[in-house]
Structure 1
Amino acid sequence: MFCGIELAARIERAETDLIATGSAAASERLGGAGFTFAFAGGVAAFAEPGSPLNKVAGLGFDGLPGPAELDDLEKRYAAVETPVQIELAQLADPALAELLTRRGYRLVNFENVLGRTLSEHNAAIVPSGIEVRPSDDTEFDIWLDVVADGFAHPDGQGVVSHEDFPRDIIAAAMRDLTAAAGVRRYVAIREGQLAGAASLRLADGIAQLTGAATRPEHRRHGIQSALLSARLAIAATAGSEIAVITTQPGSKSQHNAQRSGFDLLYTRAILVKD
């Protein structure tokens, strides 16, 4: 699958909408303590201290921000004592990266965006002994336990993430994304136990695979692949054209995605200014 600038901009718009919707929901939940506003064709968001939604995304496809806009952006994040984190796609305008580095932004990490086309004929391939099904609100806490446990015990392959989130912050973000942004939750059952958890969002013909985790004791049994295959089938049946997933470079998640037909579309640089 080839990704040009137009497709990258479309994927980034879907990501921007996900962040903006989740952050706005968090602000409403907390009585207006956060902020979400359009910025240089993308979005700048602050949900609450330590949230994974605190970021600036989608920039570089619709002009460059001016000095006054950047001053205002940095002041807003300074007011809530949070570094400015900009996720910049490599297919965005290169002049933006130059502008940001001149202002003192540091490159701290990368993340890969992978994608594949879908068709209505995609069928889920789930190994014997594993069941993948939707997860409702009655089991949100146990679903979250699996996600939080997965974050706490990374598979040790690939580039280590620069971020680490407490369980309560992950819980708040996922509740906001589920309620406001249409994120759906799924679980994988193995040997009668909830072995894995994952989520999916469908928007504008794009299926966003918004996270997956496997409990350490159930790893290397096909849980990740089963969750991935099941969500692809769901997305294809719903009429999505493409599926996208974001991974750490060289990670097991990237390995599983590429084995399932995903191609590396582009990389995002993570730039931070304290």
Structure 2
Amino acid sequence: MRLPVINEELAKRIVKCETDYFTSRISSIGERAGNPEGVEIKQFGDTTAFYIQSMPWGLFNSVKGFSQDDIEKLEEIIEFYEQRNRAFQLDIHPTGTHPAMLRRLSEKGLYQNSFLSVLYGLPTCELPNLPSNITIRQIDNEADFDLYAGIHCVGSGMDIVHKHHFVNNNIGLLHRPGWKLFLAAWDGVPAAVAVMHIGSGSNIASCTLAATAPEYRRKGLQTALLMWRMYEAYQANCELVVAQASFGSSSQHNMERVGMQIAWTRSVWAPLNP
């Protein structure tokens, strides 16, 4: 099977997959008893806006699925975040754009501040032949999830004392429909984690998160986890695997090494004066 050529229809499906998994992930945080993190998800036409009161970072206060079709919703979206005194990021994909839309973004005080690579590839029909040092297993219990949270924490550059935040804000993914979490060990020592999502009715698998403990980087763990998820996608009868990575990053390089290709480069816009 050959990798399909990107066209408008396929691009829209890939964008929707990202919006769907992000909605599921943020919803899982908001579903904690009493919504302690202050999660809000609001729909503006086909555009989805995410807000988490306790997490000021752009990733958790982002706008996904925006296109020319929702240009008349732009002022409402900006007002949604202004009312919450929160800066936000707006993802712009090539599909559904128009020069007039981009001009409107700048007229409303937004500017492009970064790029992100969107990649896609084919599932793998054979179980990966892993190096002898590496073993991978699916996380299906709270003991393994505790290991996951610790690796996610330190792999994100945080001190391990903050692990409880990663436990609280990701535990909702354990056993959640569509989600699979994986733990990779190096010589039997838990060292890296990765996550994938397959939405209901979707035949596209999304590689949504990956982290490696600093002392185990550059050992091929993330490449192994990518290959493992591509095989899992085949087992789930998916036709494509998609992922996002910072442009030119080691994550992008790992994805390209296992056969994924850049579909397009997404631009990220933000308020000039938040």
Q: TM-score, normalised by structure 2?
A: 0.85
Name the structure 1 match of 2:205.
Answer: 207
CA–CA separation in structure 1 for the residues paired with 2:65 and 2:164: 27
| Aligned residues with identical type, % of pairs | 26
1:1-274 alignment runs, 5 A limit: 1=3, 2-29=5-32, 31=34, 33-50=38-55, 52-60=59-67, 63-66=69-72, 69-95=73-99, 96-118=101-123, 121-136=125-140, 137-152=142-157, 170-178=166-174, 180=176, 182-203=178-199, 204-273=202-271, 274=274
Q: Which runs of 5+ in 2 are unaligned?
A: none
Give the number of the structure with larger relative contact order, counting CA–CA contacts within 8 Å between residues 6 or more apart. Answer: 1
Counterparts in 2 of 1:79 and 1:30: CA distance versus 1, 3 Å: farther
CA–CA separation in structure 1 for the residues paired with 2:13 and 2:98: 18
41-50 or 126-135, which deviates more = 41-50
CA–CA separation in structure 1 for the residues paired with 2:225 and 2:187: 16
182-191 or 39-48, which deviates more = 39-48
Counterparts in 2 of 1:196 and 1:28: CA distance versus 1, 3 Å: closer
250-259 or 26-35, which deviates more = 26-35
CA RMSD in angstroms, aligned pairs only: 2.2
100-109 or 34-43, which deviates more = 34-43
CA–CA separation in structure 2 for the residues paired with 1:86 and 1:180: 27
CA–CA separation in structure 1 for the residues paired with 2:94 and 2:137: 36
Q: Deviations over 1:84-135 (max 9, x none)?
A: 311111233134322212211121211111001225x233231112101111
The answer to whether the Cα contact below 8 Å between 1:186 and 1:198 also exists between their aligned partners in 2 is yes
CA–CA separation in structure 2 for the residues paired with 1:264 and 1:37: 30
Q: Deviations over 1:181-214 (max 9, x none)?
A: 6322101111221011111111200110011122
CA–CA separation in structure 1 for the residues paired with 2:21 and 2:172: 10
Letter in 2 for 1:64: D
Q: Which runs of 5+ in 1 are unaligned?
A: 154-165
Q: TM-score, normalised by structure 1?
A: 0.85
CA–CA separation in structure 2 for the residues paired with 1:169 and 1:107: 30
Counterparts in 2 of 1:76 and 1:180: CA distance versus 1, 3 Å: farther
SS at match of 1:81: coil
